[in-house]
Amino acid sequence: MNGAINLGKIFGIQFRLHYSWFFIFVLITVSLSWQYFPFAYPGWNSAVYWVTGIIASLVFFTSVLIHELSHSLVGKANGIPVKSITLFIFGGVAHMTREASHHSAELKMAAAGPLASLVLAGLFFLLHLATRNMIEPVGAAAFWLAQINAVLAIFNLIPGFPLDGGRVFRSLIWRFSGDYQRATKIATRVGRGVGYLFIAGGIALVFLLPGQWFSGIWLAFIGWFLQNTASASYRQSQWQRTLQGITVAELMTPDCPVITPDVTINRLVQEYIFASGHHCFLVIGEGELTGILTLGNIKSVARPNWETTQVKDIMTPAEKLVVVSPEQDGLSVLEQMQENDVNQMPVVREGRVIGLITRDNLLRLIHTRSKLGM
Ligand SMILES: [Zn+2]
* 278: number of Cβ within 10 Å: 16
Cα of 41 to ligand 1 centre, how many Å? 32
Give every CB contact of residue 30 below 8 A, 6+ residues apart in sequence.
53
Predicted pLDDT at 150: 93
Whether 359 contacts 341, CB under 8 Å: no
Residue 92, helix vs strand vs coil: strand
Predicted pLDDT at 199: 93
Cα of 106 to ligand 1 centre, how many Å? 12
How many residues comprise the chain?
A: 374
Predicted pLDDT at 374: 61
> In whole angstroms, what is the distance from residue 137 CA to residue 53 CA?
9
List, for the chain, all residue ranges whose pLDDT scores fall below the cut of 50: none
Cα of 158 to ligand 1 centre, how many Å? 11
Q: Quote the crossing angle between the two packed helices 103-131 and 164-177, to the nearest 10°.
A: 140
Cα of 186 to ligand 1 centre, how many Å? 19
Predicted pLDDT at 146: 93
Sign of the CA dihedral 126, 132, 133, 135? positive
As annotated, the active-site residues are 68
Give every CB contact of residue 212 below 8 A, 6+ residues apart in sequence.
205, 206
Predicted pLDDT at 360: 79
- H-type alpha helices, the chain: 20-31, 37-40, 46-77, 103-131, 136-156, 164-177, 180-208, 213-244, 248-251, 265-267, 274-276, 295-299, 311-314, 330-340, 359-371
Closest alpha carbon to 69 in 15, 108, 119, 105: 15
Whether 293 contacts 283, CB under 8 Å: yes
Cα of 110 to ligand 1 centre, how many Å? 7
Predicted pLDDT at 57: 92
Cα of 259 to ligand 1 centre, how many Å? 52
* 287: number of Cβ within 10 Å: 5
Question: Which residues keep their CB under 5 angstroms from ion ligand 1?
Answer: 113, 156, 164
> In whole angstroms, what is the distance from residue 252 CA to residue 256 CA?
10
* The Cα angle at residue 146 between residues 143 and 151, in degrees rounded to 5: 125
Predicted pLDDT at 145: 92
Whether 338 contacts 100, CB under 8 Å: no
Closest alpha carbon to 81 in 240, 206, 228: 240
Predicted pLDDT at 124: 94
Helix (H) or strand (E) holding 293: strand 288-294
